[in-house]
Structure 1
Amino acid sequence: MPDLDSLLKPRSVAVIGASTQPDKVGGMPIRLLRELGYAGRIHPVHPSASEIQGLRAYPTLAAIGEAVDLAIVAVPALAAESVMAQLAQNGTRAAIFFTSGFAEVGEEGLAMQQVLAASARRHGVALLGPNCLGAMNLRERMFATFSPIPLTGVPPAGDVGLVSQSGAFGAYAFALAREAGLGLSHWVTTGNEAGLQVADVIGWMAQDDDTRVILAYMEGCRDGARLRHALAAARAAGKPVVIAKVGTTEAGARSAQSHTASLAGEDAVYQAVFDEYGVHRAHTLEDFFRLGYTLSRGRRPARWHSPSGLMADAVAPVAIVTVSGGVGIMMADRAEQLGLPMPPMPAAAAQALRASIPFASTANPIDVTGQVVAQPAVLFEAMARVATCGEYGSVVAFLAGGANAPRLWAELQHTIGALHEDRHAAPLLLSGIVDDDKRAWLEAHGCLVFREPAHAIEAVAALARAAALDATAASAPAGAAASLAAFLPTVPDNAGALSEFDAMRLLADAGVPVAPHGLARDADEAVSLARRIGYPVAVKLCSAQVLHKSDVGGVALNLGDEAAVRAAFSAMQAALARAGASLPFEGVLVARMVRGWGELMVGVRRDPVFGLVALAGIGGTAVEIFRQVAFGLAPLSPARARAMLEQSRAAVLFEAHRGNPALPLAQAADLLARVSQVAAALGPRLDTLEINPFIIGADGPVAADAVITWLPAQAPD
């Protein structure tokens, strides 16, 4: 990851294209830096002016007489390359190009942008933009932007870093952060990303001592490896990342591409990346800032666990204390949807609470009813007991408007203060109406406040994932691709596919269970194979040029005798002719009909941004109708593979039902992981490896069909 200290912590700033008018693009950053307290040196650069906004101006960058850490560039696009040459001569290490007219306007602009990017790389300049709104460092009062929005007020300096591909979104997010009082460390917009990408900023913030939580807005990603590296760095540093990724639909993806010249990619693949690294996904602006607030200020749950060992599945037992039974049920519904356990109070704690409050429910939600108006102590005793009983990771209390009542507020302060001092107590979150002063006091004592009760429950789930991030390392795929090299085929130079026979043989050699099968080049050989394998059999057209054989009549199933096999062989020859294949007839695949009670699809495909992506789901033709599949980055760990089977609901195929025995899900997860390792071992030319279906039967999953396709070899540079 590049070092962005010169960009975000500069000791000196030059403004090239500086304007005497403070409200112009070249004038606003000077005004902001001067008026809002930047302590470094500011050097306006203008070809004719001797003074700009009370500062000495220089005709060129070289005339300044010293190397400048950061250059803010506000010149026409046609002059950008000459400015980059000046930066190189000056020894400037970072530049922000406000200038538009590059890739976002078409091919000619793209060519200019590519020249600018190459020059920045050649001269070692960290390039932000072009066509961006700039960057800020709130702690050092460094406002390198032409947006006037900081003039109306800035958020407090805090520990949340914010990076956005969109300048407009970034400006709006800045205003919302200010309104919410969310403390920011840095604010960066990346624009066209000719040099620095969102990933680079995330990676730098992962190492920045002033940043604890990272918020990012993304429309697309051109370099998947770069983003994965950045997210891994944030995970290793224990810093939660919240991403608002737009372009989740086909229409949205087209819009994103035309807006920023980015590649939006397939949303399910992005989600697989986010799951792999424990990213918190925000789908609305409200989610974006609420997650930032929660992760920045919230205490991690005292107890949490992850059923699969993955952060995406981290949960924490939660206790709900409420003055309203109806709201308690609403909160319990949301907890169940999020998979948060809600165990009842331990017997001893429940008995002690009932001794004090005979009418209280200890089942969880713990309902102290409206009696709290007459006996406010009952509410706070219940809160304290569940927070200290050792059963719960977090406690959520719904108070309605009670916190603003003077009598209740004094007792609430006493309870919160005592729990805050007790390092063994579970963290407490409140839901209700609280005025600003009381909210500030509560937050200062480790208690998050939410007006919407469901949001408090969602905060518990987010903090549980963050706790997992703090405590776990990335799961490593089992096995080594190198160990599979012995059976790998020689890949042809041209794009294409293996025949099903070759694909099945490859999988069998790699230890993947496949249906007994063989290749027959004439009808007699097909009959001989069928006898040896055992009836009933399937006969399928064997051709590297026809992947979807059933579409051309190239599949015959449940053949029980010699006559049926001979007829099927003739039908396969006719099917090849109908398909219009240019290669000669290779023969037919004869395979045993595998019996079972379900079908599983397992596949790996090469995503143009993130590389190999595995998918799994309920298979057969239903996969194309229901599209109930889960994605993960290949090669998979067994834990991730198991989570995919559960997420796609394919795990139900391995449960006992209607007389069918239960099968070990761990075995299926190991198999899915193994297929992903085979795909990784096949190398960069692999396009697709698909097994649809695996037949689920008493002996476990058995592959009944396989497709392997290759990308064409790239010409050497």
Structure 2
Amino acid sequence: MLDLEPLLRPRSIAVIGASTQPEKVGGMPIRLLGELGYAGRVYPVNPGADTVQGLRAYPTIDAIGEPVDLAIVAVPAASAPDVMTQLGRAGTRAAVVFTSGFAEVAGGAALQQTLAANAQAHGVQLLGPNCLGAMNLRARMFATFSPIPLTGVPPVGEVGLVSQSGAFGAYAFALAREAGLGLSHWVTTGNEAGVQVADVIEWLAHDPDTRVILTYMEGARDGARLRRALAAARDAGKPVVMTKVGTTAAGASAAQSHTASLAGEDAVYQAVFDEYGVHRAPTLEAFFRLGYTLARGRRPARWHARGGLPADAVAPVAIVTVSGGVGIMMADSAESLGLPLPPMPDAAAHALRTAIPFASTNNPIDVTGQVVAQPKVFLDALAGVARCGEYGSVAAFLAGGANAPRLWTELQQTVATLATEPESAPLLVSGVMDDEKRAWLESRGCLVFREPAHTMEAVAALAKAAAMEALASAPAEAHAPPAAIAPPDFPGHATALSEAEAMAWLAEAGVPVAALGVAHDADEAVRIAESLGYPVAVKLCSRTILHKSDIGGVVLHLKDAAAVRNAFARVQAAVRQTRDADGQPAHFEGAIVARMVRGWGEIMVGVRRDPVFGLVALAGIGGTAVEIFRQMAFGLAPLSRARARAMLAQSRAEALCTGHRGHPALDLDAVADVLVKVSRAAAALGDRLDTLEINPFIVGADGLCAADAVITLRHPG
């Protein structure tokens, strides 16, 4: 982990390129540090001035005469690399470089490389260049040239905010202040020539002043670094809320397999976020709403993980409402989020029906507008479901009821009492009320929303956070290491395995595959077919022609020897009419004769090498229409069984295995184990693997059976 202490907790700060004019880039940090209460030492460095904004100025960093923790650099781009060298020699351990004109402009990449190399050579942690800086709210440290803190600073709190974009970071700072969301740190990383978003996440995961991490990210160059950071946050029980932009499939290149063309860039990022329990926020409003929820909300004691994955945890919720219509809306939201709605316990239901005969005691629990005349009945129902032990959370819709004096007084008594009972379920409220009432409820651990659907989203987020915190104290099942399988025998220059080689390799890894043999003439093809039993398929065997059906290299459902001979001749002729990369007739390596596999559905399973995150597995509905339906789920390889089960559910491939239309139901754990074995076989190939694709896996009474496989390779090294 990078040591960001001198960057984010500096005891002294030098401003290189300090300006006497506070509104300038080199002047604003000095003004902010002076006016907003920074207690450390500040050293302006300006060779042309004796004083800067009332502080003694120094001609160089060396003239200060003692090491400085942090340097704020506001000099022309061409001078910045030399400044890094000077800082290193003076013992400065970190630098924030505001200056632009580096890799974000044409011809600036080389200058940025020099800047980064000089900083690294001299042990300077570099934030930027082309960044808006960093803040430590608790230490009143403002290493930024943004004037926005002058108009007000958010309260000191437990939310760390890190952004690749300076503009987003400044806007988010203003919104946090408007929402009263307490911040611990605020960091923008700019061009990331040194410190990356991942480094800040990892540091905040170990920071005792931070409980929740809000992150804006456009992309990651170092997937291993980001995964390590997210793992650190997960293991520390600190939720990460992520707004990741750039959600198109532009990062996925069309290649020789469906695996490469289907796994778009955003799908891979989502697989990473799923793996580490990241809360994804599609909008700025959701970004801060989740930050508010996770920073202030009490975690439910009752929750369960769907499919065994803590990241998919849900909590049973009781909805108590004064409006049947809104209760239905909240129930719809709950269902879409997978939140269970257990019925009201009998005793509590009987008490409510006795008091209000026309109240609905199902869940949602509708006390109706009678709440105005009988507020105690509403509040007794609220307290009853909170205490009964059946629910993880209680979501109440008050409409404008909080503004009714009698209801508000009794609501305060109920909420204050429940706040002293740690075993009661957390309470979340939606309705219209003034800021004073909202603040009172929040001070007693009750989250408040105007939009009822946001209440349900908060319930889901808190359930997920509770599960991830439990995972931090009792680590989940670790990925088992790849099976010890000897790599298949192929030439070092090979770019692919033939289907026969791929199927043999998978069989050795424990993956069920169709029985087959390789024939080099028609007689041998007949002998193999008769040993396997009809019907059979005859397919081209080739390391260079991977999509065999495109050239007529696949013939299916052959029922006798004559059909096999004819199919062999057709496949051989198809190869002779195909040209290789040099324009010469393709070489005929033989034909695969495989037993036809019977079943009622097809699943595709693949593994591809992502340039950022390494091996990524995918699974979903397979067959010839795979690219039409594109119903895929993703996970980081090698897969755990829990992740494989979740992928089956997410992609709807699970539906083929659960006994529909009279077919027998399969053991889903056994199906998931097949996916795990495929992913481990891929991992065992190490850096040589480019893509592995099995399309289709036939779904039959005996489970899955691979009917075709493609493995492409990368050049050694």
Fold agreement, TM-score > 0.5: yes
Contact 1:48 1:59 in 2 (8 A): yes
Alignment of 1:535 with 2:563, yes or no, is no
TM-fit CA distance, 1:480 = 2.6
Partner of 2:260: none
TM-fit CA distance, 1:447 = 0.2
Q: Equivalents in 2 of 1:657, 1:627: separation in Å?
A: 21
| Matches for 1:158-197 after TM superposition, within 5 Å | 158-197=157-196
Residue by residue over 1:195-240, the C-alpha shift from the partner in whole angstroms, topping out at 9 and shown as x without a partner, is 0000000000000010000000000000000000000000111000
Q: Equivalents in 2 of 1:318, 1:664: separation in Å?
A: 31
Q: Equivalents in 2 of 1:89, 1:492: separation in Å?
A: 52
Contact 1:477 1:636 in 2 (8 A): no
Any gaps of 5 or more consecutive residues in structure 2? 254-262
Whichever residue aligns with residue 59 of structure 1, its letter is P
Give the match's secondary structure for 1:22: coil
Partner of 1:93: 93
Alignment of 1:611 with 2:614, yes or no, is yes
Any gaps of 5 or more consecutive residues in structure 1? 255-263
Whichever residue aligns with residue 644 of structure 1, its letter is M
Q: Equivalents in 2 of 1:185, 1:140: separation in Å?
A: 9
| Matches for 1:52-451 after TM superposition, within 5 Å | 52-106=52-106, 108-250=107-249, 266-451=265-450
Contact 1:190 1:198 in 2 (8 A): yes
TM-fit CA distance, 1:470 = 0.8
Partner of 2:688: 685
Contact 1:322 1:397 in 2 (8 A): yes
Partner of 1:257: none
Whichever residue aligns with residue 680 of structure 2, its letter is Q
Alignment of 1:466 with 2:465, yes or no, is yes
Residues 251/576 of structure 1: CA separation in 2 closer, same or farther (3 Å cut): closer
Whichever residue aligns with residue 601 of structure 2, its letter is G
Residues 674/293 of structure 1: CA separation in 2 closer, same or farther (3 Å cut): same
TM-fit CA distance, 1:478 = 5.2
Partner of 1:642: 645
Contact 1:277 1:474 in 2 (8 A): no
Contact 1:477 1:638 in 2 (8 A): no
Q: Equivalents in 2 of 1:490, 1:270: separation in Å?
A: 34
Output the aligned Cα RMSD: 1.5
TM-fit CA distance, 1:567 = 1.1
Q: Equivalents in 2 of 1:240, 1:492: separation in Å?
A: 47
| Matches for 1:524-603 after TM superposition, within 5 Å | 524-581=523-580, 584-603=587-606
Residues 495/586 of structure 1: CA separation in 2 closer, same or farther (3 Å cut): closer
Q: Equivalents in 2 of 1:419, 1:510: separation in Å?
A: 56
TM-fit CA distance, 1:423 = 1.1
Residues 253/151 of structure 1: CA separation in 2 closer, same or farther (3 Å cut): farther
TM-fit CA distance, 1:83 = 0.1
TM-fit CA distance, 1:511 = 1.0
Whichever residue aligns with residue 703 of structure 1, its letter is A
Residue by residue over 1:217-276, the C-alpha shift from the partner in whole angstroms, topping out at 9 and shown as x without a partner, is 00000000000000000011100000000000257999xxxxxxxxx9700000000000
Partner of 1:5: 5
Whichever residue aligns with residue 202 of structure 2, its letter is G
TM-fit CA distance, 1:103 = 0.6
Partner of 1:15: 15
Q: Equivalents in 2 of 1:611, 1:504: separation in Å?
A: 23
Whichever residue aligns with residue 303 of structure 1, its letter is R
TM-fit CA distance, 1:451 = 0.0
Residues 228/36 of structure 1: CA separation in 2 closer, same or farther (3 Å cut): same
Q: Equivalents in 1 of 2:286, 2:490: separation in Å?
A: 47
Contact 2:298 2:445 in 1 (8 A): yes
TM-score by length of 1: 0.96
Give the match's secondary structure for 1:267: helix
Whichever residue aligns with residue 683 of structure 1, its letter is G
Partner of 1:480: 481
Give the match's secondary structure for 1:485: coil
Partner of 2:257: none
Residue by residue over 1:375-406, the C-alpha shift from the partner in whole angstroms, topping out at 9 and shown as x without a partner, is 11111111011101110000000000111222
Q: Equivalents in 2 of 1:477, 1:211: separation in Å?
A: 27
Q: Equivalents in 2 of 1:351, 1:537: separation in Å?
A: 67
Give the match's secondary structure for 2:694: strand
Whichever residue aligns with residue 39 of structure 1, its letter is A
Q: Equivalents in 2 of 1:129, 1:495: separation in Å?
A: 42
TM-fit CA distance, 1:477 = 5.2
Partner of 2:26: 26
Partner of 2:710: 707
Partner of 2:50: 50
Partner of 2:256: none
Whichever residue aligns with residue 322 of structure 1, its letter is T
Contact 2:385 2:394 in 1 (8 A): yes
Give the match's secondary structure for 2:626: helix
Residue by residue over 1:522-543, the C-alpha shift from the partner in whole angstroms, topping out at 9 and shown as x without a partner, is 1110011001011110000000
TM-fit CA distance, 1:59 = 0.3
Residues 75/241 of structure 1: CA separation in 2 closer, same or farther (3 Å cut): same
TM-fit CA distance, 1:655 = 1.2
Give the match's secondary structure for 1:292: helix
Give the match's secondary structure for 1:229: helix
Contact 1:136 1:186 in 2 (8 A): yes
Whichever residue aligns with residue 713 of structure 2, its letter is W
Residue by residue over 1:676-714, the C-alpha shift from the partner in whole angstroms, topping out at 9 and shown as x without a partner, is 011111111100111000001111100000001111123
TM-score by length of 2: 0.96
Whichever residue aligns with residue 461 of structure 1, its letter is A
Q: Equivalents in 1 of 2:311, 2:562: separation in Å?
A: 55
Partner of 2:635: 632
TM-fit CA distance, 1:491 = 5.2
Residues 265/598 of structure 1: CA separation in 2 closer, same or farther (3 Å cut): closer
Q: Equivalents in 2 of 1:559, 1:227: separation in Å?
A: 51
Partner of 1:260: none
Whichever residue aligns with residue 11 of structure 1, its letter is R
TM-fit CA distance, 1:115 = 1.4
Residues 30/222 of structure 1: CA separation in 2 closer, same or farther (3 Å cut): same
Residue by residue over 1:279-322, the C-alpha shift from the partner in whole angstroms, topping out at 9 and shown as x without a partner, is 00000000100000000000001200002221221000000000
Residues 253/25 of structure 1: CA separation in 2 closer, same or farther (3 Å cut): farther
TM-fit CA distance, 1:474 = 5.2
TM-fit CA distance, 1:574 = 1.9
TM-fit CA distance, 1:448 = 0.3
Q: Equivalents in 1 of 2:176, 2:31: separation in Å?
A: 22
Q: Equivalents in 2 of 1:565, 1:422: separation in Å?
A: 76
Contact 1:275 1:311 in 2 (8 A): no
Q: Equivalents in 1 of 2:481, 2:577: separation in Å?
A: 43
Q: Equivalents in 1 of 2:205, 2:185: separation in Å?
A: 12
Contact 1:546 1:579 in 2 (8 A): no
Contact 2:319 2:365 in 1 (8 A): yes
Contact 2:485 2:509 in 1 (8 A): no
Whichever residue aligns with residue 209 of structure 1, its letter is P
How many pairs does the alignment contain? 702
Q: Equivalents in 1 of 2:178, 2:288: separation in Å?
A: 11
Contact 2:249 2:264 in 1 (8 A): no
Give the match's secondary structure for 1:244: strand
Q: Equivalents in 1 of 2:640, 2:358: separation in Å?
A: 50
Give the match's secondary structure for 1:355: helix
TM-fit CA distance, 1:124 = 1.6
Residues 389/357 of structure 1: CA separation in 2 closer, same or farther (3 Å cut): farther
Residues 479/22 of structure 1: CA separation in 2 closer, same or farther (3 Å cut): closer
